[in-house]
């Protein structure tokens, strides 16, 4: 099956492709639903996803001014309550005052469209644009790992390419991305940007889109890294085992988040997924 002309590339499907071309094919081209959980215990995994979704909704409403800091949050105990208190006590420091939550941007790329929905973009006109992404993963990823993720590369690149309505004349060096961790609110990861990285991201993303669009094998290559299969719902289909990986180990597995998230092109708002993320 070839790539539809209206296919939308985003950080999740590109990350799937980078992690495993076969997963990209099964999930985004064939849109094959497969009855398996991404991680065990399944109920705990589901609860984490739902808590993460709820946290994103709360913060969105707070940024919009719909709810105040004093608004009682139910339940009063548990991860969601802890994250909410952490957000109120230690939000990302030094953000510009103009806060734009849930912004969607897109731009043409190699004959297709690249799209991203941002948790928050904070703008200081003519000076800087800060991308904030809320993460509710249990563990903080090791320094440097996030800079290679498709999310980082797509978000910063696309803001420069498509954010000129928000920030006329925006230059790469004026962009920064902050990953804020609800379980580590005092240890955000700040990733500045520059023209060199912008050029590199443009090349990489273009090459990926061209490569994907040019594939026509009946079965795309399976990843050689079988550890990725532990948190992939297609593992039994691929003959890579039948048991899901342990949720306690999930944060170290790049495979979990995109695999767990529903498909953007199917109309589901995967950026609201709470992200067992890494």
By CB under 6 A, name the binding residues for ligand SF4. Answer: 20, 22-23, 26, 222-223, 228-229, 232, 234-235, 238, 240
Would you call 102 exposed, middle or buried from its count of C-beta atoms within 10 A (0-12, 13-18, 19+)? Answer: middle
User: Considering beta carbons, is residue 116 or 208 the nearer one to ligand SF4?
Assistant: 208
Instruction: Read off φ and ψ for residue 171, nearest 5 degrees.
Output: -110, 150
Task: Name the nearest CA neighbour of 131 among 162, 86, 167, 95.
Answer: 95
Q: How far is the CB of 175 from ligand SF4 (least distance, A)?
A: 32
Judge contact between 146 and 155, C-beta under 8 A. Answer: no
Q: How far is the CB of 115 from ligand SF4 (least distance, A)?
A: 23
User: Considering beta carbons, is residue 255 or 273 the nearer one to ligand SF4?
Assistant: 255
SS3 at position 243: coil
User: Considering beta carbons, is residue 234 or 270 the nearer one to ligand SF4?
Assistant: 234
Give the helix/strand (H/E) hosting 21. Answer: helix 21-24
User: Considering beta carbons, is residue 30 or 195 the nearer one to ligand SF4?
Assistant: 30
Secondary structure (DSSP) of 43-66: HHHHHHHHHHHHHHHHHHHHHHTS
Q: How far is the CB of 22 from ligand SF4 (least distance, A)?
A: 4
Q: How far is the CB of 141 from ligand SF4 (least distance, A)?
A: 19
User: Considering beta carbons, is residue 188 or 245 the nearer one to ligand SF4?
Assistant: 245
Residue 223 CA, chain-centre distance (Å), reads: 21
User: Considering beta carbons, is residue 20 or 177 the nearer one to ligand SF4?
Assistant: 20
Q: How far is the CB of 18 from ligand SF4 (least distance, A)?
A: 11
Q: How far is the CB of 269 from ligand SF4 (least distance, A)?
A: 23
Q: Is the dihedral of CA 161, 146, 183, 246 positive or negative?
A: positive
Helix count and strand count (H, E) for the chain: 7, 8
């Amino acid at each position: 099956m070839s790539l539809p002309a209206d296919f939308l590339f985003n950080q999740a499907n590109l990350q799937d492709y980078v992690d495993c071309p076969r997963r990209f094919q099964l999930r985004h081209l064939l849109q094959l639903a497969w009855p398996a959980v991404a991680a065990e215990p399944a109920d705990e995994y589901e609860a984490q996803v739902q808590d993460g979704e709820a946290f994103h909704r709360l913060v969105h409403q707070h940024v919009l001014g719909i709810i105040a800091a004093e608004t009682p949050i139910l339940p009063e105990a548990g991860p969601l309550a802890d994250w909410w208190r952490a957000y109120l006590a230690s939000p990302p420091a030094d953000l510009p005052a103009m806060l734009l939550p849930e912004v969607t941007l897109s731009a043409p790329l190699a004959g297709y469209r690249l799209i991203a929905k941002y948790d928050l973009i904070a703008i200081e006109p003519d000076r800087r644009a800060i991308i904030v992404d809320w993460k509710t993963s249990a563990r903080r990823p090791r320094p440097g790992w996030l800079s290679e993720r498709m999310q980082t590369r797509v978000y910063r690149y696309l803001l420069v390419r498509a954010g000129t309505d928000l920030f006329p004349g925006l230059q790469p060096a004026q962009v920064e991305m902050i990953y804020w961790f609800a379980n580590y609110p005092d240890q955000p990861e700040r990733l500045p940007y520059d023209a060199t990285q912008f050029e590199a991201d443009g090349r990489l993303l273009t090459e990926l889109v061209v490569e994907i669009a040019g594939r026509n094998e009946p079965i795309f290559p399976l990843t050689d890294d079988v550890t990725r299969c532990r948190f992939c719902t297609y593992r039994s289909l691929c003959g890579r085992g039948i048991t899901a990986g342990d949720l306690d180990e999930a944060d170290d597995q790049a495979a979990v988040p995109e695999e767990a998230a529903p498909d953007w092109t199917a109309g589901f708002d995967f950026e609201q997924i709470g992200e067992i993320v890494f």
